[in-house]
Structures are given as structure tokens and as C-alpha cells.
Amino acid sequence: MSRLKGLIPLPRATLAERKAMGKALRERVPRRELGSWTVDRRRPHLIAQVRAGAQAHRADLPPIRWRRMLASPFEFYRGAASLMASDLGPVPTCGLQVQVCGDAHLLNFAAHQDAEGRLVFDLNDFDETCRGAFEWDLKRLAASIVVAGRSVGQKDRACAESVRWMVRAYREGLDLFAEMRVLELARFEITLPASDKPLAPIFQSAARNTPRQLLKKATRPDAEGLACFLNQPPLLVPLKPTEARVVLGALKDYRAGWGFGRRRELNAYAPWDCARKVTGTGRVGMDNFLVLLYGNGAGDPLFLQFKEQGASCWSPYLKNSRSYVKDYPHQGRRAAEGQFETQTVADPFLGWTKMAGKDFLVRQWSDHEDSVDVSMTVGDTLRDYAALCGQVLAKAHARTGDAAMLAGYCGGGDRLDNSMARFALAYADQTEVDHGRMCRAFKQGQFK
């Protein structure tokens, strides 16, 4: 008998016991119920909700968001995470909590380089991350597969099959991760199999996404032999000296929060130029700054992104929503810690800071908007890419939840697969209806 008995918690239940506990949660929410969604063609507050999602500090930015959302149902879906949160948040869940991405659509997965230069595939966006129901991520990903598939001409039958492949990969991933030792799971990386030709273009695009490539894309040579940001208003605008001083003050505070070893690396880089950048769709209107730094000469650039963070769109629906402010006093820290917990290989420059009373996430700027394009998801690529995303999501949930209980709830058959396919088709219909209503409202002048 251990001399520490009574001083520390006993080891958790066995794998079989935890799977049984997860299976028992089907009594609370049967898996078939996860497929339920009824299209509402008359949402009374739809336009107000879409408008409220644009937390803008500048009047010229919301129209950019509207134009992007109007472009297609998929772009609408990308910008409507808060709308989906209001749809799913009140729906009963089985009770299994994980660190959710919060916006796990197809384009929020991307390839990154690990310390040895290998491309690993993982979740990429954590603006909406929080502790929440695993079903939220799974449904967000499932519906995005159908909306994206339809946008490139895939038939519903093929889209539904891609959703089933994703959910099967998710279930099989949970089974695998439930058996792993803790440190084995912590180090587990998902890479592209050499034989997977349909996904090769996506990884090749990510491999080209380097600081030197970003120099070519976002800067021009300056008189000092280095580079400065292009002036492409309103999407990319160099900061005036008074504005840059505020950003550099936040950079100083960000540096101060690092441990000595990491601070030494960052201190080897000196800031050279700053700009304001519009990125994505969902958070267009919130402050987003880029800082170009140089280390060992002109061939050693580093881009840091300072991205303003508001509350997660899921916050009103959390199990303990009243304690949200206490649990997440700094929204940049919430996003950074969610990324640290979820990713196997996190950005070494990931951190947080404050600027003018607002919370910011700090990370390396990597323009993943060009890494994956919906147009790439044609034919078998959608199916294979969906399965890869399902495995990544399983890893994220296994790292931050109880993989065995999740596996027990999800089961070994195809019931969950079919339920999620039904939900995804129905919610894709809802997205198309909502997008159509937004287009009509825009023509009527309701978005100005």
C-alpha cells in the first residue's frame, strides 16, 4: 500500500470503466438526437444577430465583413460562428467537456512546421476556444463539410459520405488515443501519409507559407535595405508613429511576460515596422496589428500578429457561464492557453498582452488563408481532408477531455456517423436560407 494514500487522489477508473461511463451518457442524450435540426426560414432576429457579430472599432471595416459573408454560403458560414453558437448552445448535450476550438470549420485546420521542420496538421484558429461540449466542435466541422462541398459542386450524397468519413476518423482516433500513455498522446503528431496524393497540394501550399514568402506578399523594399509594409487600404495599412508606439508598448509588455530562455530568443529580434491588417471573416472590425522584426540581418525576418480578443461566442452557453469572467480574466490568454492545450506543436512565440485596455493574442503571423482553399476540396479530396480533420479533432479532444469516455459515448458503429451526416445536411440548408436572407437584406439597405 502506498504511503501517500489519502494524500493524493486515487488513479482514475480503468479504461473499460470509463468507456462504460461514456456509454451510459447515451441515456442522457441518445446519439440519434444529435442528427436533429429543423430549418427555420423565419428567424426573427437573424439580421440583428449577424450585425451584432461585427464588433467594430472603425466604421469602414464592417462593410468588408458583409461583402465577405455575402460572397457565398460558405463565407457566410465562416463569419457566423456566433449564430451557430446561439443555435447549438441551448441544445442539451451529453455532458462530456473538452477544450473546444469553438470554430472548427474546414478552413480552421492547417499545416505547421514542427521543431525539426516537418509539416504537421492541426487546428489553427482559437478565437472562440473555451471549455465546452465536444458536440459543438463536431457539429461545426460536420456542417462545414457539406456547405463547402456544395460550393464546389459536390452532390449531397458525396457530402454526407465525407461527413461519415470524418466522424469515423474521429471515433477511431478516440479509440487510439484512449489507449495511449499520457506523454505519448502529448507528443503525438499528425502528418500527411506519403501515399495520400489528393491532400498533397494542401500541404505543399502550407510549406510555402514562410516569413520570406510573407515578405514578398506584404512588404516592399525600403531605403535601408530591409522592408516595410505595403499600403493597401483598408486591408493593410502601415501605422503612423503615434499608433506604432502604442503597439510597441504592448510588445514590451508581451516580452516581459516570458521566461528567461524564451525572452532571450525574442530579444534577438528588433521591431522595424508596424501595420494594421484585416484578416478572416468572423472578427473583421476588431483590432489586428502586424509587427515586422529582424534578427540576424535582412534574411531573418519575423512577423508577429497582435490580434484583439473578445469573449468567446460560446460564453453565454457554458456550464458555468456566470464564472466566465473569473475563469477567463484575459481573453488573449484564454485563446493562447486553449491553443497550448490543444495543439501538439504550438507556436513558440504564442502569448498575450494588453493595448489601450483591450486584450490581445500574440502569435507569429502565418497567412493560412492561402494554405487551404475550398476549391481544393473536389472529388475524393473532400472525403480525405474531412477524415484528416476528424482525426485532428479527436486528438484535440483526447488531450483535453477523457478520450475513453468520449469513445464510449461515440461507440464503434456508424450510428453517430449517420446522425452527424443528417445534421450537417440540414444545417447546410439552414446556412443557405440564412445567406439568402442576408443577401436580400443587403439589397434592401439593411447593412450600411
324 in a domain, yes or no? yes
Helices (H) and strands (E) in the chain, counts: 17, 12
Is 104 found in the same domain as 125? Answer: yes
CA torsion, points 429, 409, 395, 362, in degrees to nearest 10? 60
Q: Where are the alpha helices (DSSP H) in 411-446?
A: 415-443
Is 119 found in the same domain as 68? Answer: yes
Instruction: Give the bridge partners for 351, in sequence order.
Output: 362
Q: Alpha-carbon distance 199 to 379, whole Å?
A: 11
326 in a domain, yes or no? yes
Write out the residue range of the structural domain in which residue 184 sits: 15-189+374-443
Is 42 found in the same domain as 165? Answer: yes
The contacts of residue 151 (CB under 8 Å, 6+ apart) are 72, 73, 74, 374
Number of neighbouring beta carbons within 10 Å of residue 220: 11
257 in a domain, yes or no? yes
The pLDDT tens digits along the chain (448 residues) read 456 666 666 678 999 999 999 999 999 999 999 999 999 999 988 999 888 876 656 778 888 999 999 999 999 999 999 999 999 999 999 999 999 999 999 999 988 877 777 788 999 999 999 999 999 999 999 999 999 999 999 999 999 999 999 999 999 999 999 999 999 999 999 987 766 666 777 677 666 667 788 898 999 999 888 999 999 999 999 999 999 999 999 999 999 887 766 788 899 999 999 999 998 888 888 999 999 999 999 999 999 999 999 999 999 999 877 778 788 899 999 999 999 999 999 888 999 999 999 999 999 998 554 456 788 888 888 999 999 999 999 999 999 999 999 999 999 999 999 999 999 999 999 999 999 999 999 999 988 7
Residue 124: closest CA among 139, 136, 107 = 107
Is 349 found in the same domain as 219? Answer: yes
Domain-terminating residue out of 320, 344, 368: 368
Domain-terminating residue out of 312, 344, 368: 368
Is 148 found in the same domain as 27? Answer: yes
Number of domains forming the structure of the chain: 2
Domain-terminating residue out of 306, 341, 368: 368
393 in a domain, yes or no? yes
Is 392 found in the same domain as 352? Answer: no
1 in a domain, yes or no? no
2 in a domain, yes or no? no
Give the SS3 label for residue 367. coil
Q: Alpha-carbon distance 63 to 49, whole Å?
A: 15
Is 357 found in the same domain as 384? Answer: no
197 in a domain, yes or no? no
Is 25 found in the same domain as 156? Answer: yes
Give Cα 290 distance to the centre of its chain.
19
195 in a domain, yes or no? no
Is 171 found in the same domain as 38? Answer: yes
